[in-house]
Amino acid sequence: EVQLLESGGGLVQPGGSLRLSCAASGFTFSNYAMRWVRQAPGKGLEWVSTISGSDGSTYYADSVKGRFTISRDNSKNTLYLQMNSLRAEDTAVYYCAKGTSYSGGDFDSWGQGTLVTVSS
């Protein structure tokens, strides 16, 4: 059974930094693309970033490009999201999601999410 467990969320001041982690189990982690998707309170889903399972290619939404960095440690089956220069509009529940192929595919498994609140 696929399991994804996010951690690292919390309250941070505007301009601050935070690193999210997503521990994966139940599948061969290195074989699949992984993503971060966020959901602001009472709002819809927004794709944030993708990292491929094979060559580690990365992709970002315009809203976070240059501020967020996605990475993975296949030896630890863990996905990361380094978030810098945080803004109030980054406040959201952040989900990690598994793709269906090494390069992408649909979002077929999701974690429970971790809440990031950016506020002074």
Partner 1 sequence: QAGLTQPPSVSKGLRQTATLTCTGNSNNVGNQGAAWLQQHQGHPPKIISYRDNNRPSGISERFSASRSGNTASLTITGLQPEDEADYYCSAWDSSLSVWVFGGGTKLTVI
Residues in contact with partner 1 by the rule CB under 8 A: 35, 44-47, 50, 59, 61-63, 95, 100, 104, 106-113
**CB of residue 70 vs partner 1: minimum separation in angstroms?**
13
Dihedral angle over CA of 23, 27, 31, 37, nearest 10: -50
Q: Please, which residue, 61 or 82, has the CB nearer to partner 1?
A: 61
Contact 96, 22 (CB under 8 A): yes
**CB of residue 75 vs partner 1: minimum separation in angstroms?**
26
Strands 68-73 and 58-60: unpaired
Amino acid at 29: F
Q: Please, which residue, 19 or 65, has the CB nearer to partner 1?
A: 65
Q: Please, which residue, 7 or 17, has the CB nearer to partner 1?
A: 7
Buried b / exposed e over 76-109, threshold 16 CB at 10 Å, is ebbbbbebeebeeebbbbbbbbbbeeeebeebeb
**CB of residue 120 vs partner 1: minimum separation in angstroms?**
27
**CB of residue 45 vs partner 1: minimum separation in angstroms?**
5
Retrieve residue 81's tokens. 């999201």
Q: Please, which residue, 61 or 75, has the CB nearer to partner 1?
A: 61
